[in-house]
Amino acid sequence: MATRIRLRRVGRKKQPVYRIVVTDKQEARDGRFVETLGHYNPRTEPVVLDVDVEKARSWLAKGATPSETVRSLLKKAGVFETPAQS
């Protein structure tokens, strides 16, 4: 199964809120998903971005490919940064 990390739209008409989910590449945008990694609300000031960094790193290590938009959101959340060594 080829997995992809992408946005799933939720919320009311003209008031989108998105969940960051891991899904099969063949599924529809709002179809079945494997796991939820976080959520994103672009309509608030400041923008709300909540991501479970450990889950996201785990799925990336398993070979899941993020969409372009999710890749930029994960960069903002600090997923691609190397963890600090103590």
Report the pLDDT value the prediction gives residue 32, as an integer from 0 to 100: 87
Report the pLDDT value the prediction gives residue 29, as an integer from 0 to 100: 81
The domains located in the chain, with CATH, are 3-77 (3.30.1320.10)
Q: Is a pLDDT exceeding 70 seen at residue 83?
A: no
Report the pLDDT value the prediction gives residue 84, as an integer from 0 to 100: 61
Distance between CA 12 and CA 68 in Å, rounded? 24
Contact in structure between 18 and 7 (CB atoms under 8 Å): yes
Q: What is the DSSP letter of 82?
A: P
pLDDT tens-place string over residues 13-65: 999 999 999 999 888 888 888 999 999 999 999 999 999 999 999 999 999 99
Q: Is the pTM of this model over 0.75?
A: yes
